[in-house]
Amino acid sequence: MNQPFSTIIGHSAQCEYLQNILKSGNIAHGFCFSGSKGLGKATIAKEFAANLLGLEAEKLQTSPNVTIVRSEEGKGISVEQIRDLKQTLSLSTFGGGWKVAIIDGAQTMKASAQNALLKTLEEPTPKTIIILVSHNSNALLETIKSRVATIEFKLVAVDSIKESLKQKFDLDSENAELIGQLSMGRPGFAFACSDEESYKEQEGLAQDALQFLQDPLYARMKKIEELTKLKEDRQQTIQNMVELMRMWLHESLLGSLELECSKQAKELSKTHSQEQIKNALQALQKCESALARNVGPALALQVFASSF
C-alpha cells in the first residue's frame, strides 16, 4: 500500500523526498522531523509509517509494530519512557517486517532520556525506524542529531492555508480567513481548528492573548497566575498564548507602519509605540527560549510581562 501524503498542504518537497525513500527501499534507521509546532510533522510521520507498514494511517494506534511516545503534561519525556521504548523495540516484530517508533515532542526529552536513546540510535535493531518529531531541534543533543536524517519543515503561505480550508472543510471565506490568520503559517494547526468547537476555543484564546498585551501589568500578572495554575493542558495553552501574542505583535507592528493588518492589531498599534512593540517581540523571543529550556513558565512569562 503506497498512499499519497495528502493530509497536510505546503510540504510537497518533504513528502516527495519521503515517497522516494520508500520507493528506493534505502531507509535510514532514524529521522528528525524538525520545525515549529502545528506544521503537521506528526501527521506526516504517521503517514510515512503507514506507508512503510502497508497500513491505513487510522490503524497505526492499534498496530503492534508501532509505538508512539508523547511527553507527559508539564514533565517532558522521561528516561523511563525511553527505556520502555527500547525494551519494546528489542522484541521480535509481529508478523515480520518493520517496526516504527514515533517520539512526538522529542525536544522535551530530558538529558538522561536522550542519552538512553543514543545507544539505540548507535546500535539500531534491524528493520527498526525511529522518528523524532521536534518543535525545537536545538534542544536535542548534537550526538542525537548526528545519528538521524533531519527533515526541516517550514511555515506555509497563509493564503494557501485559507484556500485549502475552504476546499477541504467547505468553510466560508470569513472563517477561513480568521483560522488562516491564527494559524500563522501552520497548516496542521489550521486543520485542527477547522471544526466549530476547536475554532471557538482558539478564537477565545486569541482574544485572551490580545487582552494580555493591552492589559496593565497587574492584570497580566493575574493572568499568568491563572495560566500556571491550570491542571490540564497547561503547557500547550501557554505555548499557544505565546504564539498568538507573537502574531498580534507582528500585526500591530505592521499597523504602526501604516500597512494592512487586522482591526484589533491596528488598535494595539495605537496604544503602543513601534519601539514598545519591538521591545515586546524581543522579550517574547527570550521568553520562548526560556520555556524551551524548561525554565518555570511563571518566571518566563513574568519577565516578558514586565518588559513593555
**Sites in the chain below the pLDDT cut of 50:** 1
For residues 107 and 134, is the Cβ–Cβ distance under 8 A?
yes
What is the rounded distance in angstroms from the CA atom of residue 277 to the CA atom of residue 266?
A: 12
Tell me the β-bridge partners of 70. 104
For residues 155 and 185, is the Cβ–Cβ distance under 8 A?
yes
What is the rounded distance in angstroms from the CA atom of residue 234 to the CA atom of residue 80?
A: 22
What is the rounded distance in angstroms from the CA atom of residue 245 to the CA atom of residue 49?
A: 35
Cell numbers standing for residue 63: 498496530
DSSP 8-state symbol, 76: B
pLDDT at 7 (0 to 100): 57
Amino acid at 270: K
Residue labelled with grid coordinates 493564503: 159
- With 0-12 / 13-18 / 19 or more C-beta atoms within 10 angstroms meaning exposed / middle / buried, residue 1 is exposed
Start and end residues for every CATH 3.40.50.300 domain found in the chain: 12-152
Residue labelled with grid coordinates 542529531: 145
What is the rounded distance in angstroms from the CA atom of residue 221 to the CA atom of residue 65?
A: 47
Do strands 66-70 and 30-34 pair parallel, antiparallel, or not at all (unpaired)?
A: unpaired
pLDDT at 293 (0 to 100): 75
What is the rounded distance in angstroms from the CA atom of residue 93 to the CA atom of residue 249?
A: 50
CATH number for the segment(s) 12-152 = 3.40.50.300
What is the rounded distance in angstroms from the CA atom of residue 113 to the CA atom of residue 218?
A: 39
Cell numbers standing for residue 78: 522521561
pLDDT at 182 (0 to 100): 76
Residue labelled with grid coordinates 518566571: 299
Global confidence as pTM: 0.73
What is the rounded distance in angstroms from the CA atom of residue 137 to the CA atom of residue 28?
A: 18
Do strands 149-152 and 66-70 pair parallel, antiparallel, or not at all (unpaired)?
A: unpaired
| 225-231: Cβ within 8 A, 24+ apart | 225/298, 227/297, 227/301, 228/297, 228/298, 228/301
What are φ and ψ of residue 135, in 5° steps? -90, -5
pLDDT at 281 (0 to 100): 93
DSSP 8-state symbol, 92: P
pLDDT at 185 (0 to 100): 83
